[in-house]
């Protein structure tokens, strides 16, 4: 069984300041982990993914995430927020090993960026 | 190239009617997934197809829900005798394989409203 918990339902930052969106996961297997972003009235877009290679994963638009097995965490960060980053972000866990890729989504974190 | 497409984009139906939602995956993608996004439940897995077969239907909420995939391509999700709690955005995703860690590409969704 697998699950994911996003620790903040809303995060508000000022433009140019760092972003931290927190995620903890639970998985019976060595997990695949993803962050997806959903802009208003748009589809889900993959930001980055971890699949047991490097623990620090770089994604699109300057986002990165660090896999910490000891803390079962996969927090998403960005050094400097941009207005266009305002969206809802989903931490997602997929089955590990050779199991098929059913995804389990967190509840989402809405990121607001103030000018 | 073309992404995942879904039709209709919006559907309003009366309680008790049947609806069909369509998904056109990316050409060549063997794995296809249906998810549902609703206010109360977040994003939930419904069903997974590998080719034309559905190894995992565990997420279908009731026997009013069914899905099929023909020719290893287009998929249809059917909801019979719709209820108000079926109102949600239904998302389709496809992947090159069904293996864990594979990136899933999402369509824009069908917003279903049951009145």
CB-count burial class (<10 Å; 0-12, 13-18, 19+) for B9: exposed
Spatial separation of the C-alpha atoms in residues A113 and A92, rounded to whole Å:
23
Is the pLDDT assigned to residue A78 strictly greater than 90? yes
Spatial separation of the C-alpha atoms in residues A40 and A112, rounded to whole Å:
12
**A107 contacts in B (CB within 8 Å)?**
42
Domain membership of residue B109 (yes or no) is no
Domain membership of residue B85 (yes or no) is yes
The mean-pLDDT minimum among A27-41, A51-65, B12-26 falls in A27-41
Beta bridge partners of B88: B112
Shortest Cα distance, chain B CAs vs residue A114, angstroms: 25
Region A18-23: mean pLDDT is 98
Buried b (16+ CB within 10 A) or exposed e, B54-72: bebeebbeeeebebebeeb
Domain membership of residue B102 (yes or no) is no
Q: Does B107 touch chain A (CB under 8 A)?
A: yes
Region A3-16: mean pLDDT is 96
Question: What is the CATH number for B59?
Answer: 2.60.40.10
- Give the pLDDT of residue A41: 78
- The answer to whether the Cβ–Cβ distance between A103 and B42 falls below 8 Å is no
Domain membership of residue B111 (yes or no) is no
Domain ranges in chain A are: 2-114
- Give the pLDDT of residue B1: 58
C-beta separation of A104 from B45 below 8 A? yes
Domain membership of residue B10 (yes or no) is yes
A2-114: CATH number: 2.60.40.10
Which band of pLDDT confidence, cut at 50, 70 and 90, is reported for residue B13?
A: very high
Domain membership of residue B115 (yes or no) is no
Domain count, chain B: 1
Which among A100, B97, A6 has a CA at the least distance from the CA of B105? B97
Percent of chain A with pLDDT over 70: 94
Beta bridge partners of A74: A67
Tens of pLDDT along B53-111?
A: 888 888 999 999 999 998 889 999 999 999 999 999 999 999 987 776 678 999 999 99
Q: Which domain holds residue B20?
A: 5-96
Spatial separation of the C-alpha atoms in residues A84 and A73, rounded to whole Å:
26
Domain membership of residue B110 (yes or no) is no
Is the pLDDT assigned to residue A52 strictly greater than 80? no
- Give the pLDDT of residue A97: 54
- Give the pLDDT of residue A96: 59
Is the pLDDT assigned to residue A101 strictly greater than 70? no
- The answer to whether the Cβ–Cβ distance between A102 and B45 falls below 8 Å is yes
Residue of B42, B48, B107 lying closest to A102 (CB–CB): B48
């Amino acid at each position: 069984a697998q699950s994911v918990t996003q620790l903040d339902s809303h995060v508000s930052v000022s433009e140019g300041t760092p972003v931290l969106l927190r995620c903890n996961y639970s998985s019976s297997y060595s997990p695949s982990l993803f962050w997806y972003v959903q802009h208003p009235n748009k589809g889900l877009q993959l930001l980055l993914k971890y699949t047991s290679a490097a623990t620090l994963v770089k994604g699109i638009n300057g986002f990165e995430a660090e896999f910490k097995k000891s803390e079962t965490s996969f927090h998403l960060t960005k050094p400097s927020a941009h207005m266009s980053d305002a969206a809802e972000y989903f931490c997602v866990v997929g089955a590990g090993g050779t199991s098929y890729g059913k995804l389990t989504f967190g509840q989402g974190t809405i990121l607001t960026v103030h000018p | 190239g073309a992404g995942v497409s879904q039709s209709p984009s919006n559907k309003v139906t009366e309680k008790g009617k049947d609806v069909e939602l369509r998904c056109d995956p990316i050409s060549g993608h063997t794995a296809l997934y249906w998810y549902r996004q609703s206010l109360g439940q977040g994003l939930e897995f419904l069903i997974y197809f590998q080719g034309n077969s559905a190894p995992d239907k565990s997420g279908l909420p009731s026997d009013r829900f069914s899905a099929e995939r023909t020719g290893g391509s287009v998929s249809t999700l059917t909801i019979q005798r719709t209820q108000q709690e079926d109102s949600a955005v239904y998302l389709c995703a496809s992947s090159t394989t069904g293996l864990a860690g594979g990136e899933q590409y999402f369509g824009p969704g069908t917003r279903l409203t049951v009145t």
